[in-house]
Every structure is written in C-alpha cells, then in structure tokens.
Amino acid sequence: MDNAQYFYRKVVFTRKNNQIALADINQPDNISPLEDWMGTVISLADGIHTIQELIDYLKQQYEVAPVNLEETLHSVVERLLEGELIQLSDIKVDLPYYLALPIEQLDIEKAKQLMAEEEHNSTSGES
C-alpha cells in the first residue's frame, strides 16, 4: 500500500457515545456500528490526510505503539476499500458537505438536497 495516498470516506457517518457508525441520511436513526479500527479510519478519512499521516497520528495515541500498527491499518484500509466505504487518491480531495462531518453536525435537509443534486448530475451526464 502506498502510504503517500490520501484517503477519504464515501459514506455518511455518526459519532455518538464514543461509537462511530455508518448512518443513513434518509433515516438518521438507522445506524450500522463499526468495529473500532474501522470506525476510527472512517472518521479520519477526510481527504486531506495521507495513510502515512494516519499511521503517525495513531502511533501518537499510544505510550508504546503496537509493533504491527501499520500492518493493522493497512488491513483495515483494504477492507474499507473492498466495501467501497473509503477511496484512495494521489491528490487531496474536498469532501462534499454531506460527507465532511458526522451526521449529527449536518443540516439534514441541505445534505439531502446536495446528495440528490450530485446524483442527478452524475446520472444526467451518462448517455
């Protein structure tokens, strides 16, 4: 895995009661809790930090970082990529409003409108 790549989320998330979960913008109370490592990566997947910055940040959270921290994070990133919950990029990515913050910090109606507009724009460009 190229640690110089930027990583960004492709899903709406929530951060409640120290638990990170996937959220449905149309049913905000409908959440899918994530395993701790996956939730951490999703919450930090802002498009402006690299995999290496993620590793360095998480190493600082420990008095003595686990020996296999980088391998663990690579595995988590791979699983999130396979599930299409995050994506990698060679350049920084500006997240759309509805992905930039946890759902509880969003104006839900604005987020829904922007999602609908983006979906319309992406489908209307197809032939």
What is the count of structural domains for the chain? 1
What is the residue range of 61's domain? 6-124
pLDDT in tens, 47-58: 999 999 999 999
pLDDT in tens, 86-120: 999 999 999 999 999 999 999 999 999 998 888 87
Residue 33 lies in a domain: yes
Find out whether 121 and 35 touch, Cβ atoms under 8 Å: no
Find out whether 10 and 4 touch, Cβ atoms under 8 Å: no
- Residue 127: pLDDT band (50, 70, 90) is very low
Q: 125 pLDDT exceeds 90?
A: no
Which CATH number covers residue 103?
Answer: 3.90.930
Residue 117 lies in a domain: yes
Residue 43 lies in a domain: yes
Find out whether 23 and 42 touch, Cβ atoms under 8 Å: no
Residue 1 lies in a domain: no
pLDDT in tens, 58-89: 999 989 988 999 999 999 999 999 999 999 99
Beta-bridged to residue 102, according to DSSP, are none
Residue 84 lies in a domain: yes
